[in-house]
Structure 1
């Protein structure tokens, strides 16, 4: 049976952020930590070795595959920040129009730095993602 590699764990968020080499990127990671924490009301938890997640939900697909994932999160990757929001929500695309400089992938939104984005829109994206997932998976 398939086992998820990205699981919630007790790794220190501060230790993880402190290992970021570039001071400006480290500063942005702390700022994202504050924004996500304040916006969601959830404590940050490490997921796997590099994702900082907030809240949790349990999903189960029609295929039978199931698991746990953070409601929202981010990861300070080498090239950029990966922001994790719910997929399948058509309101995300509308919010991204006013978000600022970013790229999108299947499950992530990528930014280079906080100065490139509208923080108010970031908060709306966070709230929208949490609401969408809590509505979609109400038994969490």
Structure 2
């Protein structure tokens, strides 16, 4: 199965209907903002761009540069490596909660999509100062 077919097949499984529409909207937003095509990652995540990392512990790997997961309860938006430096952007985003590298949104209509785009770009710029980011 091609990467595009895998992403399309995954998006078709997203429920409920409102979450499916939001996932399709986020996919377009991420593609427009990054210029990259999505890839399906384990755990039901769509990633845009990749980077190879090496931690101080010596652990290495490859992960997506930014992306999202359309969970039933909330949308999870991933900005790597985290949100520590983005308070000035998050203050204008709208209703959300944050984790270490994850932004939780109940409904897409709760946030300002232009601010979300700024946050995605800022996250990618920050990530690129740590590890080279490759397009997908």
C-alpha contact (below 8 Å) 2:39/2:48 kept by paired residues? yes
- Show CA shifts across 1:41-68 (max 9, x none): 1110001140000000011011001111
Runs of 4+ in 1 over 6 A off after TM superposition: none
Q: Which residue does 2:73 correspond to in 1?
A: 79
For the residue of structure 2 that corresponds to 1:78, the secondary structure is coil
From 80, 98, 102, the equivalent of 2:96 is 102
Deviation of 1:93 after TM superposition, in Å, equals: 2.1
**Bigger share in strand:** 2
26-35 or 100-109, which deviates more:
100-109
Q: Which residue does 1:135 correspond to in 2?
A: 129
Q: Which runs of 5+ in 1 are unaligned?
A: 1-8
Taking the aligned partners of 1:88 and 1:49, their CA distance within structure 2 comes to 19
Q: Which runs of 5+ in 2 are unaligned?
A: none
Taking the aligned partners of 1:139 and 1:48, their CA distance within structure 2 comes to 20
Equivalences, count: 132
- Show CA shifts across 1:87-110 (max 9, x none): 355432221111101011122100
From 29, 36, 54, the equivalent of 1:35 is 29
For the residue of structure 1 that corresponds to 2:86, the secondary structure is helix
From 96, 101, 107, the equivalent of 1:113 is 107
Alpha carbon RMSD of aligned pairs, Å?
Answer: 1.7
Using CA pairs under 8 Å that are at least 6 residues apart, name the structure with larger relative contact order, 1 or 2.
Answer: 2
C-alpha contact (below 8 Å) 2:46/2:67 kept by paired residues? yes
Whether 1:51 aligns to 2:76 is no
For the residue of structure 2 that corresponds to 1:123, the secondary structure is helix
- TM-score, L = length of structure 2: 0.89
